[in-house]
Structure 1
Amino acid sequence: MTDASSSPVPPVTIHRSDYRPPEWQVPDIALDFALGLDTTRVGAALSVVRHADAPAPLTLRGDGLTPLAVRVDGESWNDWHMAGPDLIVDLGDRARAIVEVDTAIDPTANTQLMGLYASNGMLCTQCEAEGFRRITFHPDRPDVLSRYKVRMAGDKTAFPILLSNGNCVAKGAGDDGSHWALWEDPWPKPSYLFALVAGDLVVNRDSFTTMSGRKVELGIWVRAGDEGRTGHAMQALKDSMAWDERVYGREYDLDLFNIVAVSDFNMGAMENKGLNIFNTRYILADPDTATDLDYDGVQGVVAHEYFHNWSGNRVTCRDWFQLSLKEGFTVYRDQSFSADMGSAPVKRIEDVRLLRAAQFPEDAGPLAHPIRPDSYQEISNFYTATVYNKGAEIIRMMATLLGPQRFRAGTDLYFDRHDGEAATCEDFVRAMEEGGAIDLTQFRRWYEQAGTPRLKLTLSEDQGQWALDVVQTVPPTPGQPEKLPMMMPLRIAAFDRSGGASLPDTLVTLTGATQRIALGAFDGRPALSVNRGFSAPVIVDFDRAQGELAWLAAHDDDPFARYEALQQLMLDTLVAAAAGNEVDHRAVVDAVAQTLRGRGEDPAFVAEAVLLPSEAFIGDQMLTVDPDAIRRERLALQAAIGRALEEEWRAILAGKAPPATDLSPHAKGERRLRGVALAYLAATGIGDIPALVFGVFSDADGMTERQAALATLAHGDSDERAHALDIFYQRYRDNPLVLDKWFQVQAWSMRPDTVEAVRQLAEHPDFTLSNPNRVRSLYGAFTGNQAAFHQADGAGYRLIADLVIALDPRNPQTAARMIPPLGRWKRFDEARAAMMRAELERILAQPGLSRDTTEQASKSLLG
């Protein structure tokens, strides 16, 4: 099999407007695999049915494949030819036929990790979005749904476990030490949901009884020795199944549900029908090796992939432009599940922080696109924060506008109407309209327009009556210079700080470019709580004095709004300081102190609220980002808070930490707050702090505290830093997932030598470009280290460009995802911008560049 980078086919832009229904459907497909790590032979028998009005040849997509034989209705067939990578079979005027194609592939050589590939002696698949065409010739489009019958045969010693979608209906042994298994999936599915796993695995088994009384057998398959770290994932699976029944009325539809953990995986996980394939990062967890955030990640991703059984599998997407139909909806579902399983306010804060860190910059840059894109060259480039996270916010807005009962009526209608179909985003919106009795005509603009709306708010008063004037703008984005106003829910409240009457939580539906909202009578300017719960994914421009923000941070009855007020107070101070203005830290220090006083009630919320905004988010508020000034002023404020509240931070650490085995929201919050205390104390430069942090590192009974202490030490240059890094490495050098953390904390370091440190770590014996997790742990973390990545001499830019050039021939998907940070060159000074453009040009000048990387780099260069 050849990589896509060697394909002679130039990039072609595919447009949503060019969609046409398939000329042939494939209601049934039988696959026969003769498995081997170096050579796997694949026999595919496609039952094809013509759907075109006029005779048209059968086009079967391929990628790096050569047909060994082609048969039609059991007879050798010569009336076929290749058109680039695709197989064209002329069936004359036949309305239906059985088309058989034999191919051979080399899983070991498949470094793209798309299609069928080898991972540490195991065979596994990843077919979304267009990986199935790397296994066998097929229409390979999501609106072609088939029932699959899969036979696998291979050496029993090398591949003792043989898994695929659906149910195992037969198995047996061969005469030559081989064995075979036959799997059938009764539910029609698109090719991207096909899955196969063959290897030496052990299983953690359990079961779940559905609301109708059916018993479902559950299995999580891992390498021997890892089965003890699958308990949390199994519980998350059962919790997800129960939650989906309770909240959406959706019951699982097979008698078997399997998960396999794979160490080499481009994505987080894949929802293949009945056989989910996961990155080990989102399955394996125990207190010694996983942080609380890791546990939350396992729970959320397991839920996400399970929820896809209905929002993605039973109802799939018609074409890849509709990707957010399944992903945005399912992200919303997994966010809601995680909120129900833990602290809802903290979960909302985490989701919004991710949106602002990943999606808002995407919306403001050269790669901006609507959640339903109009065109693409390589679909893998559109697995973006916009499609996933902004897509989830759009579903959330519909749920807010409709309310729980009407939203549930809409989802019931959607699932019932489109079960077994390939649907569109429009189908979903129409179901919300009909089921929820609402007109969403204007709301559809969220699917059509890119960019983050901005709301300019102004308070006005007339004879004691106060009003809020809202001006809505949507900035121009590539290909969309002019925008229309969006429909959105805006939750507000207004408080009389003197104790008088207030306007309680109110939901306002914005529709116009300008809109006035009456607030009522107040003796003086009310304290306005706006976009409560982050009801709309927008940027709010609203001038509020420090005193008003501090009051809201202490008294607002909406947890998210209280968090926002304190964050805005910090942000205003940091932006002003980075711009060269003199600032007084006292208002921030006092607000943090006030928030800390309530830590006993919800320590997780307090930990999130008192955390300083990230350097990147501070930069997003500036016309021209100054990475050095941002780091300097953020460290200064952190040190000021650390020194002023030193006694409080030390008291937090003096208390006994909850045991690492306690995963209750309160215990996780206590550990989170202890990590924040470490960071604030370390910023003070007080002499005994490195020893104190090292003590926390040494005494930690779990990874949460151990990693927090290690990350804190990694920023400095103490003897304790080197000692802790060495201890951590020696303890976990044989655990790939934990070793990723070792690379990561050093790439995040705020030391001035981080660029050189990353360069040296890339030469470390344990670093490899073959494993996407390892690449992301080092280089991905580094691109999030704003001051280091944007080092004034451009060394950080060259480092990432070198990586992309080296990685692209072997794994274009992972390489392409390293490019967007270079594409933000317009936000920086001309010297940095010129160096970033030069690196993008150097990438594009490489011969044989993949479609993935070409599209990302060329669009990023346009700015």
Structure 2
Amino acid sequence: MRTEQPKMIYLKDYQAPDYLIDETHLTFELHDDHTLVHTQLVMRRNPELDASLPPLVLDGQALELLAVALGDKELSAGDYQVDDNHLTVHPASASFSLDTSVRIHPETNTALEGLYKSSGMFCTQCEAEGFRKITYYLDRPDVMSRFTTTLSADKLAYPILLSNGNPVASGPEGDDRHWATWEDPFMKPAYLFALVAGDLWCVEDKFTTMSGREVTLRIYVEPENIDKCQHAMTSLQKSMRWDEEVYGREYDLDIFMIVAVNDFNMGAMENKGLNIFNSSAVLARAETATDAAHQRVEAIVAHEYFHNWSGNRVTCRDWFQLSLKEGFTVFRDSGFSADMNSATVKRIQDVAFLRTHQFAEDAGPMAHAVRPESFIEISNFYTLTVYEKGSEVVGMLHTLLGPQGFRKGSDLYFERHDGQAVTCDDFVKAMEDANGVDLTQFKRWYSQAGTPRLAVSEAYDAAAQTYRLTFRQSCPATPDKVDKLPFVIPVAMGLLDSQGRGLSVRLQGEEGDVGTSRVLSVTEAEQTFTFVDVPEKPLPSLLRGFSAPVKLSFPYDRDQLMYLMQHDSDGFNRWDATQQLAVQVLQELIGQHQAGQPLVMDPRLIRALGTVLDNPELDPAMVTELLSLPSEAYLTEISEVADVEAIHAAREFARKQLADSLFDTLWQRYQANRGVSKTTEYVAEAEHFARRALQNIALSYLMLSGRPEVLAAAQEQFANADNMTERLTALAVLVNSPFTAECDAALATFAEQFKDNPLVMDQWFSVQAASPLPGGLARVKALMQHPAFTLKNPNKVRALIGSFAGQNLINFHAADGSGYRFIADLVIQLNATNPQIASRQLAPLTRWRKYDSARQALMKAELERIRASGELSSDVYEVVSKSLA
């Protein structure tokens, strides 16, 4: 058991580095059973500090130190101090060079941090603090250096040798080895360092920048995947052009490279000029990747490319500022995806994910501000709050300043801080200075945790023709703070009359025409806005486009929600009205189930969705989103005490009622879209994505009928689909159906066809793990014995274990606690091999306070068992200790 509590790190304790590193020269001798790393650092005393020469303390973990030299002097053991985490030397002058040689073992590195091996290739993951596992260094983002890297390896086993920047030299080394040197002309922190060596093939293309420079583009993959790269290459070229047109940002090196890696803890990494990707975020072809996977590849390629400016050229001063680069870049990649596909549908999907998962994080023991005040293990703070909520904060700036004002602010930010490591405050200051505004209060979004609540009430004065909206904002207590100061909450809104038309939204005291939509800035705990010249009592459309990440409440009745569904000019709010109506209906069903009453569903939801299905003018992607009921995870999130069985029963009952009542229309839409699919070649574009999405949600509803013609349709789609989107959906509906023999046959056929494709087999695992049919845990345990599964690969863990715990709530939350014991056992096992992946599997257990007392006791007991299990990594220790606090 841990005897010493890991150290808490605080933002308030930040101090500038004592020394800076102007040049970093690295030489890697790569061997199958070890690697030698020779490092020369050209250093100087930080000129912003005093002239004294304190000890130089370098970070280092799991390094075998072979030699140290300070300047021309090789140091003996008495000249330096070394322990498990640091090397300390004593400079004699303000400018000096430090040389070290270390031995490391990438071949046994199961944590996948630093330098490690994946499928026989060497690769790196240095963010956040992996570089210290490669060599002794000042491993912090505010120490930026120019890197020159030389790699030496066996030329047959590792013919491709890559690092950051531009290639400058290469050659043979004896009979069996070769070497290559790369030089990065741009200053960067160590977390952006990258190295790859392996037997790789590449797809190459070109891109001509807006200034006329030609950039070489390469995507490196293992030979068997060379036919799955074109979509990623096209996405990269689109990203480069979009960033020039929307943000004025041009790429700066002669070459841009992506490498696909099978074993990777994250989605991808933006290392300067050499992005290393999880293979799932690169490889995409119609036969092996779904439409969602194609869109994910496009978005992640864009995200990592956009980091070249928002993260690399301008980086974060310390890890508390992580959202400076991640929140901003998520906002940028969301804008790109919106432009490439349907902007409304993209916004709907982003908000549905945020409300279900990030809001839950805000309400749990790991809640933290977008810029946290403290952490034990930085890897635990690569969170939805930093990324998705951080993006929403940037989005609110865009809403408040307008597109032109925001662009002025981003231009100033990049110009002012190019080549620097800065803070969230610096980003906001650029927005202030570019637009002449005061954003002091707005910055509370960075420092206060939790999801604000915005309660809205109305009052109409027919005689005066005035309409008042009163907003009351509050924010629940979080582990760091009980009392919260008012936020700046931009509320995009409009007013609808009885004919569905937009009314003027002119406020008292304003002159002239202000249009039918506007943004209100709610800055006080209670604030009233009075609209004038309102000829009838309107119906307000509030928080259009989800203009702020808050929980808004307004006393809409079901008829009003149906009216907004039909008439609101804002596509997002039409969807949101549908969701609110569905939530009200589902909560009524949950109450009936809890009371032991027969379930009776409000027919208004059926009529509303029937109207949606009958409307051929609606975008099929929008129809799909409107037909998607709130998930069990979201219903859990909005419950005071989540009743797992009641939520599942109510939602399944509602799905069956919709399927039976709308069968004819669903069948017609399915057949029409499937007919097009049979005669149309697969295209990875928005219009085709939308058609297949509607076809597939229709099939998932239709299968609930149990009719033989639907079974036949699912079997036909499974057997004859020319793309993974349709094939996998057909498999999923069979897996979740009562047709056991047909399901087993399809699973066996799928596994035999794709047994040699790891990413497709991940989807096979996920479909079965997520099935809510009885026996879920037994299925998962059996699948863990399948030859295609291994706990060593993060993608496998996410596909099987993550899908079970995160999507299959009715089985994971079995009343006997078996699901909880299973996850706890897994965390204890993974803690010793891959702490990052172990800590991420803990999330379902951290929400133990959300459930009934019996489940609370079972979940808490498993957390306590993990805590007492032995020497915990700091990753797991932090999550467990905060969850039990």
1:632-654 C-alpha deviation (Å, 9 max, x unpaired): 01011111111111011111121
Distance 1:437 1:698 in 2: 62
TM-score by length of 1: 0.97
Aligned to 1:720: 742
Quote the offset at 1:526 in angstroms: 2.3
Q: How does 1:84-103 map to 2 (within 5 A)?
A: 84-92=84-92, 94-103=93-102
What code does the residue aligned with 2:811 have?
A: A
RMSD: 1.5
The question of whether the paired residues in 1 share the 8 Å contact of 2:356 and 2:633 is answered with yes
Distance 2:499 2:757 in 1: 58
Distance 2:826 2:286 in 1: 33
3-state SS, counterpart of residue 778 of structure 2 = helix
Which one is further off, 524-533 or 398-407? 524-533
1:134-159 C-alpha deviation (Å, 9 max, x unpaired): 00000100000000011111110111
1:445 aligns with 2:467: no
Quote the offset at 1:709 in angstroms: 1.3
The question of whether the paired residues in 2 share the 8 Å contact of 1:37 and 1:123 is answered with no
Change (3 A) 1:500 1:128: closer
Of 37, 40, 43, which residue of structure 2 is paired with 1:42?
37
Distance 2:844 2:164 in 1: 38
Distance 2:158 2:653 in 1: 58
Quote the offset at 1:689 in angstroms: 2.9
Aligned to 2:564: 552
1:597 aligns with 2:614: yes
Quote the offset at 1:518 in angstroms: 2.3
The question of whether the paired residues in 2 share the 8 Å contact of 1:585 and 1:640 is answered with no
Distance 1:553 1:415 in 2: 41
Which one is further off, 546-555 or 162-171? 546-555
What code does the residue aligned with 2:107 have?
A: T
Aligned to 2:28: 33
- In structure 1, list runs of 5 or more residues that go unmatched: none
Of 797, 810, 821, which residue of structure 1 is paired with 2:833?
810
What code does the residue aligned with 1:327 have?
A: E
Of 817, 823, 845, which residue of structure 1 is paired with 2:846?
823
The question of whether the paired residues in 2 share the 8 Å contact of 1:640 and 1:684 is answered with no
Q: How does 1:56-75 map to 2 (within 5 A)?
A: 56-75=54-73
The question of whether the paired residues in 1 share the 8 Å contact of 2:589 and 2:601 is answered with no
3-state SS, counterpart of residue 41 of structure 1 = strand
Of 564, 582, 586, which residue of structure 2 is paired with 1:570?
582
Quote the offset at 1:466 in angstroms: 2.1
Aligned to 2:818: 795
Quote the offset at 1:10 in angstroms: 4.8
What code does the residue aligned with 1:82 have?
A: V
The question of whether the paired residues in 1 share the 8 Å contact of 2:64 and 2:104 is answered with no
Quote the offset at 1:497 in angstroms: 2.0
Q: How does 1:576-655 map to 2 (within 5 A)?
A: 576-580=588-592, 583-655=600-672
1:312-367 C-alpha deviation (Å, 9 max, x unpaired): 00000000000000000000000000101111111111111111122110001111
The question of whether the paired residues in 2 share the 8 Å contact of 1:9 and 1:84 is answered with no
Distance 2:133 2:25 in 1: 17
Quote the offset at 1:522 in angstroms: 5.1
Q: How does 1:337-356 map to 2 (within 5 A)?
A: 337-356=336-355
Change (3 A) 1:407 1:501: closer
3-state SS, counterpart of residue 22 of structure 1 = coil
The question of whether the paired residues in 2 share the 8 Å contact of 1:270 and 1:278 is answered with yes
Quote the offset at 1:686 in angstroms: 3.4
The question of whether the paired residues in 1 share the 8 Å contact of 2:80 and 2:88 is answered with yes
1:581-612 C-alpha deviation (Å, 9 max, x unpaired): 76533100111011112344410011011111
Aligned to 1:20: 15
Distance 1:793 1:520 in 2: 60
3-state SS, counterpart of residue 517 of structure 1 = strand
Of 50, 74, 77, which residue of structure 1 is paired with 2:75?
77
Change (3 A) 1:642 1:281: same
1:416 aligns with 2:437: no
Distance 1:499 1:757 in 2: 51
Aligned to 1:694: 715
1:782 aligns with 2:804: yes
What code does the residue aligned with 1:473 have?
A: S
The question of whether the paired residues in 1 share the 8 Å contact of 2:62 and 2:84 is answered with no
Quote the offset at 1:541 in angstroms: 1.3
Distance 1:171 1:246 in 2: 37
Quote the offset at 1:527 in angstroms: 2.1
Quote the offset at 1:37 in angstroms: 2.7
Distance 2:410 2:714 in 1: 50
Distance 2:700 2:647 in 1: 17
What code does the residue aligned with 1:12 have?
A: K
Aligned to 1:167: 166
Aligned to 1:736: 758
The question of whether the paired residues in 1 share the 8 Å contact of 2:614 and 2:665 is answered with no
Which one is further off, 686-695 or 83-92? 686-695
Aligned to 1:107: 106
Distance 1:688 1:568 in 2: 33
Quote the offset at 1:238 in angstroms: 0.7
Aligned to 1:561: 573
1:832 aligns with 2:855: yes
The question of whether the paired residues in 1 share the 8 Å contact of 2:500 and 2:567 is answered with no
Distance 1:559 1:254 in 2: 41
Quote the offset at 1:519 in angstroms: 3.7
What code does the residue aligned with 2:286 have?
A: P
Quote the offset at 1:520 in angstroms: 4.1
3-state SS, counterpart of residue 543 of structure 1 = coil
The question of whether the paired residues in 1 share the 8 Å contact of 2:601 and 2:654 is answered with no
Change (3 A) 1:520 1:787: farther
1:479-518 C-alpha deviation (Å, 9 max, x unpaired): 2111111002101111112457624222101101111122
3-state SS, counterpart of residue 588 of structure 2 = helix
What code does the residue aligned with 2:859 have?
A: M
Distance 1:381 1:388 in 2: 13
3-state SS, counterpart of residue 566 of structure 1 = helix
The question of whether the paired residues in 2 share the 8 Å contact of 1:72 and 1:98 is answered with yes
Q: How does 1:287-366 map to 2 (within 5 A)?
A: 287-366=286-365
Quote the offset at 1:688 in angstroms: 4.0
Quote the offset at 1:474 in angstroms: 0.7
What code does the residue aligned with 1:645 have?
A: L
The question of whether the paired residues in 2 share the 8 Å contact of 1:37 and 1:118 is answered with no
Quote the offset at 1:555 in angstroms: 1.4
Count of residue pairs brought into register by the alignment: 856
Aligned to 2:258: 259
Distance 1:786 1:454 in 2: 27
Distance 1:501 1:250 in 2: 38
Distance 2:646 2:708 in 1: 25
Of 767, 778, 789, which residue of structure 1 is paired with 2:789?
767
Aligned to 2:277: 278
Quote the offset at 1:524 in angstroms: 5.3
1:632-683 C-alpha deviation (Å, 9 max, x unpaired): 0101111111111101111112111434622231211110011111111122
Distance 2:417 2:872 in 1: 40
Quote the offset at 1:525 in angstroms: 4.1
Change (3 A) 1:339 1:488: same
- In structure 2, list runs of 5 or more residues that go unmatched: 505-515
3-state SS, counterpart of residue 272 of structure 2 = coil
Quote the offset at 1:558 in angstroms: 0.6
Distance 2:498 2:581 in 1: 18
Quote the offset at 1:369 in angstroms: 0.1
3-state SS, counterpart of residue 490 of structure 1 = strand
3-state SS, counterpart of residue 512 of structure 1 = coil
Change (3 A) 1:642 1:28: same
